[in-house]
Structure 1
């Protein structure tokens, strides 16, 4: 695999070069800024760009957006000391997100994901997942496995497989990421997976709830009731 390393700190680039040598990865170039990364990604056509998020001038996220528009875009993975950047990494279709200091085992996992992404397509970024913080480490989860999303102030709570994860994001941002996947926004503060809704229940006084497969009700906002009924036509 041919890799472009992007980090404004020389010691960080040196460390990544050593790690790459240990895993038979060829470093074809190095850049200290986002602007330089775009130029080198276009010129060198690496398989993977491993890029720091926070750099002087153009940051890693902005550079990744430009790199994704190249005729032959590489896979992109980010390195950063801050787990809070996970949603932004998801926005630009990154294959992975490594927290500094980089652990060898996580580097190996990242390489596997980058290779899988390149094998699937050379032009389309992977955009079917999201990262959530789990014990200060980012965890990559498939969007299709999310069961319910609720707003909590400046965060959203993502429920999956009996567990919940807090992510700093807005409901509108999450709704945009879900796109055409089978989810329903039943309240300004609630999104549910459509196949987990088993019915609708009138709670009285004009209040309705969606009954979930686990038996838990999810209140439906008044302005969302008709669209929800339409989407669930055929469900009692």
Structure 2
């Protein structure tokens, strides 16, 4: 992530620089000591992320966050401040996270992970590739510790829901994206994928068979040896796959 640090305290800026130097996947593109300079640098450098102090002379951090927002969202913003009373205002400008000085290194890493996830979700919306003529989703962009990863839809074994996120399972690895299950069901090619549960979509050729449990409910046996219960609302999918 291309990162711009904004703080009017030189020691605070230096500490953030040292912490960022120990974290992979971060490219520090510049530092600014006031809000006006931050806005100018953000326009020229186009950073992915602002690590932004709030209490500064002239334009404060909240003003800067508003100023750098654009039609495509602008950079992700993580506030780094000595005060905790600005948290409500920070999230009103859609800050990704809010850190209180002195910054804990582990807490900073979690904030950067959230920023990556935020950028990846935005990338998923704008950079999902749709197949020519069929309107189906062909790929997704997901974040990991090294940056962004392109995942072809045809490589996905299954999708499982985790609260507001969907986990894409590909072999032994998995990635979280911010999508609804309904949107994925509508976007993925039904010739390749089938929804078996309110929280699960499975690639059809990843299903090795079905069996009934003691209560009579269908269980899908998957190629990786795991089992996926079939929701009662999706029992017709089993019959359709089996041609019955």
Question: RMSD of the alignment, in Å?
Answer: 3.5
Q: TM-score, normalised by structure 1?
A: 0.52
Shift of 1:231: 2.7
Relative to structure 2, which stretch is displaced further, 85-94 or 145-154? Answer: 85-94
CA–CA distance in 2 between the matches of 1:166 and 1:128? 17
Q: Which residues of 2 match residues 112-191 of structure 1 at below 5 A?
A: 127-135=137-145, 137-191=147-201
Q: Name the structure 1 match of 2:241.
A: 231
Q: Name the structure 2 match of 1:83.
A: 117
Shift of 1:136: 6.1
CA–CA distance in 1 between the matches of 2:71 and 2:176? 28
Instruction: Structure 2: state its 5+ residue gaps.
Output: 1-37, 47-66, 75-114
Deviation string 1:4-38 (CA, Å, 9 cap, x unpaired) is xxxx954245447xxxxxxxxxxxxxxxxxxxxxx
Q: Structure 1 pair 56/152, CA: closer, same or farther in 2 (3 Å)?
A: closer
Q: Structure 1 pair 154/58, CA: closer, same or farther in 2 (3 Å)?
A: same
Q: Which residues of 2 match residues 185-224 of structure 1 at below 5 A?
A: 185-224=195-234
CA–CA distance in 2 between the matches of 1:136 and 1:211? 33
User: Is residue 59 of structure 1 aligned with residue 72 of structure 2?
Assistant: yes
- Secondary structure at the counterpart of residue 227 of structure 1: helix
Number of corresponding residues: 147
Q: Is the 8 A contact 2:208 2:221 kept in 1?
A: yes
Shift of 1:204: 1.8
Relative to structure 2, which stretch is displaced further, 199-208 or 86-95? Answer: 86-95
Instruction: Structure 1: state its 5+ residue gaps.
Output: 1-7, 17-53, 62-80, 96-120
CA–CA distance in 2 between the matches of 1:90 and 1:218? 27
